[in-house]
Structure 1
Amino acid sequence: MDCLESTNLSSTGSVLYYKLLIKVATMIPITHLIIGCACILTTTLYYVLEFHLFQDFFHGGSAVTLTYNPESPVYRNVVSKCSILHGRYCATPWLSSPHLQTMLLEFVAKPPKFSYKREIFLSSDGGTFALDWLMSSDVIPSENENDLTWEKDTTPIVVIIPGLTSDSDASYIRHLVHSTAMRRWNVVVCNHRGMAGVPFTVSAFYLLKL
């Protein structure tokens, strides 16, 4: 009997506490509640959407992160001499979220229209992957373009590797390819196996073995 009475008293006390909390909450001005909710929502979106506006402002951008072998010829001849790869990156302030950047290019900005020149390669393990090229001469015609062959072309080449679920036809890839070619660089998109309309010929995905 005593246990039952204690349980009833505990339940009654909990109800009173909740009523007291609700009463206190109703005493808070509505403007304060709106400001508090807005702050919580803004903070949540800032971290969920991975904004880095404040980091860029206070730290002068994010350091460029590179994964490479310091003993490789590519590092000695290219990376070590390219100062921009050792600098810091500052995104556009009003678009400092990678997710918003992707959504903008996917749903707002229309991708540029151009045609790739495709090369199909077979790797040593039987895999098939496609290289899609856009030459600078395809978007900026030159006077002697008929005399220029790929073997004689000394234009620098930019290699673009799409994300795991993207290929050369992705909107953000087409924007990047076109803008790079407009700066008089040749561009090649190295598509993953099974992407860009290329069938799977082996069970290994993504990994390229030449």
Structure 2
Amino acid sequence: MLGKRRIISLLVFSVSLVIGMFFVSAKSVKAYYNDDQAMAVAPSGIDLKNLGKDDALFVGGQYTGFKPIAKQDRNDPSIYPILQMSDTHTKDAVSSLWSNNENDNYLDVTQKQTLSFWIYFGDSYSNPQGTAFVLQNSGPNAIAAGDNNGMAGGQSMGVWGGDKPERKDLSDLASTAIQKSWALEFDTRGNGSPSIGDIDKA
């Protein structure tokens, strides 16, 4: 009796193990979208106005490689609900956009509120680093400082202090980050991931 139970248990375990191995080894195929296809399914948002106009809710900050632009709604070209920070063709782009305080577009942190936004980083072949949502009180030119008075991109995302070997002191490192700020990072890379092929593992 015990022998039969043991055999049945082993068979059930073996079948479960085989099924488990089958599911673990199965490869998932992800859908590929280009930028135009992604924009076609982007949710409709509020009109942020065209950048550079007097009524714009956002102003362009410092950038290198790609100047941020506002994009028209696919169904209503009179409104601009999308802000584009980079493209797939510009290498090493660092860009920033800030709320336009002159048009009363700012957050009152003493009030409870809800924010929602849609982020598209491009396909995995475009090798994006990520982005950050930043609350700061340093002005529209705020950006992390890089070498030779430049901007720090890459892992700092233009927000955090630039991690260089010569910066051994924490206060020196912190001084290169955006001052008087709080940031929420959307990173496409896992920590300690050296390969650009690891974008889907973050």
Q: TM-score, normalised by structure 2?
A: 0.28
Tell me which protein shows more helix as a share of its residues: 1
| Structure having the higher Rg | 1
